[in-house]
Amino acid sequence: MKYHIEKNSVQETLVIPLLGRLICSERFPQLFSDPEAKHLCDSLDYDFSEKRGKMESVFGLFGALEVAQRQYDLRCEAEAYLQAHPGAAVVNLGCGLDDTFRKCDNGRCRGYNIDLPDVIAVRNELLPAGSRERNIACDLNDPRWMDEVDGSHGAVFFAAGVFYYLRTEEVRSLFSRMAERFPGAVLVFDACNRRGAKMMRSTWLKEAGITDVSAFFSLEDERELEGWSSRFASVTAKSYMRGYRDIYEHVSPLYKLMIRFCDSLVRMKIVKIAFRKEPQKR
């Protein structure tokens, strides 16, 4: 039986990035191959026609391209960390129906997928945890989820499209706690400036009745984060659309222009924070 997704529900928000990955596999096969996205879409009792129509429009398709490229970028960072720490924890913050752990699983690492209870309920039906994987139902602002993660062999944390919906002080507190709890780990996430974040959150803010837009997380320059914690060893960033592989030559002139817009005017990027290791004992 297919899993039913109600229209206009919180669970429906899981469909958008999933459909974006599927459409990019169809429209840009030279860049993306995501059979799991097709399998998951086929497993849902949901009418995709309206969202597919919007996503296959000129601007909708660019949004799908961003979603798929973001997953590729974060996967690259997870795989790079696993090269040096093969038994590390791979932690997906605000996981939705993302399967990045399975895409970079080396047979030795452990996966942790963290999201709100209603999201994890859907995930447990569609992506039940494997033998070295756990689906954890918890709010990211509740530090108890950290007790569930074994970072003794290292940890790489990543978040896709998550922190835009948290207040800056919540993000700062979360990052600082993580740096204290997981020395030697790295945290990777996507970010953009206030202009871009406002565009991204426009519908959600209106629906939630939120007017204090400035309180929510955005990033003009990654160096702003350096003073957040003495436990940060480094803060670096790469271009969202061109930093991990340059897709510029694979897209139309209009999309080339939009990529330049993303880089220069909304400053979309992938940010990596490396946490300091414990001081050596004498």
Q: Which domains does the chain have, with CATH numbers?
A: 73-275 (3.40.50.150)
Of 227, 222, 225, 218, the closest CA to residue 243 belongs to 222
| Percent of the chain at pLDDT exceeding 90 | 77
Q: What does the pLDDT read at residue 94?
A: 96
pLDDT band at 212 (very low <50, low <70, confident <90, very high): low
pLDDT at 216: 87
Q: For the chain, what is the mean pLDDT?
A: 91
- The mean-pLDDT minimum among 114-123, 203-212, 217-226 falls in 203-212
Mean pLDDT of the 137-141 span:
97
In the predicted structure, residue 139 carries a pLDDT above the cut 70: yes
**pLDDT for residue 215:** 79
Cβ(117)–Cβ(145) under 8 Å?
A: no
Q: What pLDDT shows up at residue 207? A: 52
Q: How confident is the model at residue 202 (pLDDT cuts 50, 70, 90)?
A: low
Q: How confident is the model at residue 11 (pLDDT cuts 50, 70, 90)?
A: confident
Burial of 273 (0-12, 13-18, 19+ CB in 10 A): buried
Is 255 in contact with 62 (CB distance < 8 Å)? yes
Residue 71 burial class via C-beta count within 10 angstroms: exposed 0-12, middle 13-18, buried 19 and up = buried
What pLDDT does 203 receive? 57
- Is the confidence at residue 259, as pLDDT, over 70? yes
pLDDT confidence bin for 280, thresholds 50/70/90 = very low
pLDDT-derived band at 80 (thresholds 50, 70, 90) equals very high
In this model, does residue 12 exceed pLDDT 60? yes
pLDDT band at residue 165 using 50, 70 and 90 as cut-offs: confident
pLDDT given for residue 281 in this prediction? 47
Which pLDDT belongs to residue 213? 57
Query: Contact at 8 Å (CB) between 277 and 183?
Result: yes
Nearest one of 143, 134, 145 to 109, comparing CA atoms = 134
134-170 per-residue burial string, b: 16 or more CB within 10 A, e: under 16: bbbbbebeeeebbeebebeebbbbbbbbbbbbbbeeb
- Please report the pLDDT score of residue 249 as a whole number: 86
CB 182 within 8 A of CB 151: yes
Q: Which of 1-15, 62-76, 114-128, 166-180 has the lowest mean pLDDT?
A: 1-15
The pLDDT score that the predictor gives to residue 282 is 40
What's the rounded mean pLDDT across residues 95-109? Answer: 96
The proportion of the chain whose per-residue pLDDT surpasses 70, expressed as a percent, equals: 94
Whether 195 has a pLDDT exceeding 70, the answer reads yes
Average pLDDT in the 188-199 region? Answer: 89
Give 79's pLDDT tier (boundaries 50, 70, 90).
Answer: very high
- Which residues, including other chains, have CB under 8 Å from residue 280's CB and lie 6 or more apart? none
pTM score over 0.85: yes
